[in-house]
Chains A and B, each alone.
Chain A
Amino acid sequence: MALRLLSLALMIAAWYVGAQLAGPRMLPDPQAVALMIVSEARSGALAFNLGATLARVATAFTIAMVIGSIIGLLMGRSRIADRFGDPWLVVLLNLPALVIIVLAYVWAGLTETAAVIAVALNKLPIATVTVREGARALDRGLDDMAQVFRMGAWMRMRHVVLPQLAPYLAAAARSGLSLVWKIVLIVELLGRPNGVGFEIGIAFQLFDVTRILAYALSFIAVMLVIETLLVQPLERHVTRWRPRTA
């Protein structure tokens, strides 16, 4: 913990030194950014834009995780599904985020639905690939056990399959959350009238580096809170049966 704080302090010090060298137009010092955050928070703009972005992140993330995991599970368990789905997966994985976003806006208009779907489509193949790996590694012995003891489909899913997939789902969620929020900003920059990405777009036109940093840091703080209060406790709960190592 002490080492983490030291590392963080060093980062802020480097920022401060950098700000002195580059001048306030290129890199404002931490104080200026903090003041900007406070004034945006007072006006209500910060909460409004963070909220809009967070809502998009949550929706797109949920859609991508649910659909991506189901497809991944199917592809990991069935050879036919794997062979059939693989070309689609390769295409989606290699389609640049920007292309998906632009096409979604062209085809569906500059709407909320288009924005969310574009983000979800970017995340979905990655969730699928990760969960597919997990589904391929499922223990055959436990499958046999569940079959011999006639466990129902829901029971098998909940007590046999999902606990085995948990580490893969956690990995997909972790990498997914950071990816999704980065793509949401681009989507907002290109075609939404609010959100952190929209604000950063305005600030870019005005070369307002203070505002860019203020919004970026605020959002990082929000994600950090979600990680500590939501993701980590959930992970601890899911892995409670593992004997502690070191």
Chain B
Amino acid sequence: MSPAGVRGRLEALIGHKSFQAASGGRLHVLDRLALRLESGEVGALVGPSGCGKTTLLRIIAGLDQDYEGSVELPEHGRLGMVFQEPRLLPWRTLEQNVRLAAPEATDASLEALFCMLGLDAHRDHYPGELSLGQARRVALARAVAVEPDLLLLDEPFVSLDDALAARLREELAELVNSRPVTTLLVTHDVEEAIGLADRLFLLSASPARLLADVPVERPRAKRTAEELAALRREIACKLSNQPS
């Protein structure tokens, strides 16, 4: 393994994670889960809704410390994260929102980022004046602007209409291609996962276990329709084979 690969590697070994349920008792969410992403790889966590994908992402982000196991972040461990909701500060303008998270970002890099995401005209607008699609773009811009060592995306395109989600997916692919960064994407949409990721982690229903770790060999841009169809079949098969 090259040193560069080790530097950007993400490794998460979760033995066990449970929550105190409101009704008393423990809710078992994650069970013996191991995943590893090499430097610059894009991984997708795919699994049914409510299986614990967000919990896993929060553990990796360091927002939840109450678990058994260990997480090794890429060197420096600078995080960029897109949450399920945009989570912008409503009382700061779009540009301020990005700059507050990424104080070191240069004017030129922000300029390029805003142009790429079509946000240039809205720099001085407040989040309340944006559509959901625009707000998601700002959240994406903020996560990328910090020049993260690890990019975490929690269903970043959920509750957008299909056309808009597809466009944002393309924009994200472009961003990730233009500056490779180790990325972990949470989604329940297999299409989205194979469109963006180099490696798919298929999770079972709660408590989430790793059903399969599916590497996608061909570079994203060169995947043919037949290869994608074969991949889809393979994933569908692995997802349906899980013991219930």
- On whether the two chains bind one another, the answer is yes
Mark out the residues of chain A between 148 and 167 whose CB falls within 8 Å of any chain B CB in the assembled complex: 148-151, 155, 159-160, 163
Q: Does the CB pair A148–B81 fall under 8 Å?
A: yes
Q: Given A144-B63, A147-B62, A148-B61, is A241 in contact with B91 using a C-beta cutoff of 8 Å?
A: yes
Q: Given A148-B63, A149-B101, is A241 in contact with B126 using a C-beta cutoff of 8 Å?
A: yes
CB of A145 within 8 A of chain B?
yes
Mark out the residues of chain B between 44 and 75 whose CB falls within 8 Å of any chain A CB in the assembled complex: 58, 61-63
Q: Mark B80-97, 1 if CB is under 8 A from A, else 0.
A: 110101010111100000
CB of B100 within 8 A of chain A?
yes
Q: Does the CB pair A159–B79 fall under 8 Å?
A: no
Total inter-chain residue pairs, C-beta < 8 Å: 52
A101 to B80, CA, bound (A): 55
Q: Given A241-B92, A243-B128, is A149 in contact with B146 using a C-beta cutoff of 8 Å?
A: yes
Residue of A nearest to B128 (CB): A243
CB of A81 within 8 A of chain B?
no
Q: Given A149-B101, A163-B91, is A241 in contact with B128 using a C-beta cutoff of 8 Å?
A: yes
Q: Tell me, rounded to whole Å, the shortest Cβ–Cβ distance linking A209 to chain B.
A: 49
CB of B174 within 8 A of chain A?
no
Point out the residues of chain A lying under 8 angstroms from B85, CB to CB: 141
Point out the residues of chain B lying under 8 angstroms from A222, CB to CB: none
CB of A38 within 8 A of chain B?
no
A141 to B83, CA, bound (A): 9
Interface size (B, Cβ < 8 Å)?
24
Q: Does the CB pair A145–B87 fall under 8 Å?
A: yes
Point out the residues of chain B lying under 8 angstroms from A243, CB to CB: 126, 128-129
A243 to B79, CA, bound (A): 32
Q: Does the CB pair A148–B89 fall under 8 Å?
A: no
Q: Does the CB pair B129–A149 fall under 8 Å?
A: no
CB of A242 within 8 A of chain B?
yes
CB of A142 within 8 A of chain B?
yes
Mark out the residues of chain B between 89 and 112 whose CB falls within 8 Å of any chain A CB in the assembled complex: 89-92, 100-102
Residue of B nearest to A149 (CB): B101
Point out the residues of chain A lying under 8 angstroms from B62, CB to CB: 147-148
Point out the residues of chain A lying under 8 angstroms from B152, CB to CB: 148
Point out the residues of chain B lying under 8 angstroms from A160, CB to CB: 89
Q: Which of B81, B100, B128 contacts A159 (CB 8 A)?
A: B100
Q: Given A148-B79, A151-B101, is A142 in contact with B89 using a C-beta cutoff of 8 Å?
A: yes
Q: Which of B83, B91, B102, B128 contacts A145 (CB 8 A)?
A: B83
A243 to B128, CA, bound (A): 7
A145 to B58, CA, bound (A): 11
Q: Tell me, rounded to whole Å, the shortest Cβ–Cβ distance linking B202 to chain A.
A: 26
Mark out the residues of chain A between 204 and 246 whose CB falls within 8 Å of any chain B CB in the assembled complex: 241-243
Point out the residues of chain A lying under 8 angstroms from B100, CB to CB: 149, 151, 155, 159
Point out the residues of chain B lying under 8 angstroms from A151, CB to CB: 100-101
Point out the residues of chain A lying under 8 angstroms from B91, CB to CB: 163, 241
A108 to B173, CA, bound (A): 71
- Leading 7 A-B pairs by shortest Cβ distance: A149-B101, A163-B91, A241-B126, A241-B91, A145-B87, A148-B81, A243-B128
Which residues of B pack against A, CB within 8 Å? 58, 61-63, 78-81, 83, 85, 87, 89-92, 100-102, 126, 128-129, 142, 146, 152
25 A-B pairs within 8 Å (CB atoms) are namely A141-B83, A141-B85, A141-B87, A142-B87, A144-B58, A144-B87, A145-B81, A145-B83, A147-B62, A148-B79, A148-B152, A149-B79, A149-B100, A149-B102, A149-B146, A150-B78, A151-B101, A159-B100, A160-B89, A163-B89, A163-B92, A241-B92, A241-B126, A243-B128, A243-B129
